[in-house]
Amino acid sequence: MSEKEKTCQTRWLKTNEISMKEYRKALEDAASLLRDGELVAFPTETVYGLGGNALDAEAAAKIYSAKGRPSDNPLIVHISYIDMLEPLVEEIPSVCRRLAFEFWPGPLTMILPKSDQVPMATTGGLDTVAVRMPAHGVALDLIDTCGLPLAAPSANRSGKPSPTRGEHVYHDLQGRIPMVLDAGAVEIGLESTIIDLSRPEPVILRPGKITYDDLKPFVPRLKEYHHPSGREIERPKAPGMKYTHYAPEGTMIMLPLHVEDDFFRALESKEKTAILASTEKIARWRRFCPDVTWIALGAEDDLDSLAHNLFHALRQCDLLDMETIYIESFSEDGLGEALMNRIRKASSCPLLIEKQ
């Protein structure tokens, strides 16, 4: 970003490296920015969020502008206790209360018909609102301190992977927002599951850590959108999903489940190529192709760490100016569904070398 485009100094505050007294002061400072209609980036258990007062249309406009995001892409409203939900929605259906009790604070976003108090600017012109209670001490402390529901999309510049570390936020938004609360790496690393409860048959709009199987016992009419083969079929999408997301600058290609050695022979002399894979695959594959850059995502059967590391690895590819990025395909079980959903979105040509 050029010096001219920068509108403010960004205060980058590491909450794990300060005293309790300094932390309380930082929360007060952040809360007063938010009450003044300003923006503060904060950690959640999924990814970092870029927060502004959800009830203030001008704060929503600032969020869109800081992210460079189209303003018809609605924002998720973050709350810290259940009483904050009532004023935001028309009514709270019993299934919502049940899910809230079961999964909040946690990585579940629920969509409900909105009340008049929530401005259209926050919901991108929709008459529904997305709400969640994040499971992160700093997020909850911040919302408690300012006493406001916070509209917060992921705190990346539009088109970049969601930020999973404070430095990702600072890299993307430095000079555009007044404050970043940095609590280190987040726990999950993929965005929340979104369930739309505003329709007669609820549907998952975005897969996340909380899976279809987790939700189904509480939502008998929840629609299933998978073939028995595990392949995803066309399902309703969150409005934001029509935009390009999570894509690294280089061309990313998903590897088939079983990679053959002629693939590595073809790669041998390629420069600026990265392969993102599990530690087990790297240990074996690198013997066939020493020249490319290998980026480990975690152990093959540890979906939590694969998910945790994905977005950071995509950002590393950009920092290293990788032109071509190959990524391993993983199991679609449990969190694997969300992981593969994000990998497919980031891949420019997922089927290029896929043989079935």
Binding site for Mg ion (CB under 5 A): 154
**Torsion-angle region of 157 (φ positive above 0: left; ψ -120 to 50: alpha; else: beta):** beta
Q: How many CA atoms lie within 13 A of 261 on its CB side?
A: 3
Can you spell out the DSSP letters for 225-286?
A: -B-TTS-B------GGGGS--S--SSEEEEPPSS--HHHHHHHTT-SSEEEEEEHHHHHHHT
Smaller CB distance to ligand TXA: residue 281 or 308?
308
Span of 53-61, 166-174, 188-196, 222-230 interacting with ligand TXA by CB under 6 A: 188-196
Q: Quote the tokens at residue 11.
A: 């205060």
Residue with the closest Cβ to Mg ion? 154
User: How many Å apart are CA 41 and CA 50, to the nearest integer?
Assistant: 4
Decide if residue 76 touches ligand TXA (CB under 6 A): yes
Smaller CB distance to ligand TXA: residue 3 or 234?
234
Amino acid letter for position 347: S
Helix (H) or strand (E) holding 64: helix 57-67
Please report how close the Cβ of residue 279 comes to ligand TXA at its closest, in angstroms. 26
Smaller CB distance to ligand TXA: residue 130 or 339?
130
Strand order across the 193-196 sheet: 11-14, 179-182, 40-42, 49-53, 150-151, 76-78, 128-132, 108-113, 193-196, 203-206
Distances (CA, A) of 214 to 22, 93, 130, 159, 335: 39, 19, 19, 30, 11
Number of residues this chain uses to bind ligand TXA (CB under 6 A):
27
Span of 15-23, 125-133, 168-176, 246-254 interacting with ligand TXA by CB under 6 A: 125-133
Decide if residue 152 touches ligand TXA (CB under 6 A): yes
DSSP 75: P
Span of 191-199, 251-259, 273-281, 297-305 interacting with ligand TXA by CB under 6 A: 191-199
Q: Which does 128 bind (CB under 5 to 8 A by kind): Mg ion, ligand TXA, none?
A: ligand TXA
User: How many Å apart are CA 52 and CA 149, to the nearest integer?
Assistant: 8
Cis peptide before 105 (omega within 30 of 0): yes
Please report how close the Cβ of residue 242 comes to Mg ion at its closest, in angstroms. 13
First to last CA, the chain: 44
For residue 326, the cross-strand partners are 253, 275
Decide if residue 119 touches ligand TXA (CB under 6 A): no
Q: Which of 33, 49, 66, 105: binder of ligand TXA (CB under 6 A)?
A: 49
Decide if residue 158 touches ligand TXA (CB under 6 A): no
Smaller CB distance to ligand TXA: residue 44 or 347?
44
Q: Which of 111, 133, 143, 296: binder of ligand TXA (CB under 6 A)?
A: 111
Q: Which of 10, 15, 44, 273: binder of ligand TXA (CB under 6 A)?
A: 44
Site for ligand TXA, residues 237 to 276, rule: CB under 6 A = 238-241
Interface ranges with ligand TXA (CB under 6 A): 44, 46-47, 49, 73-76, 109, 111, 123, 126, 128-130, 134, 152-154, 191-192, 194, 205, 238-241
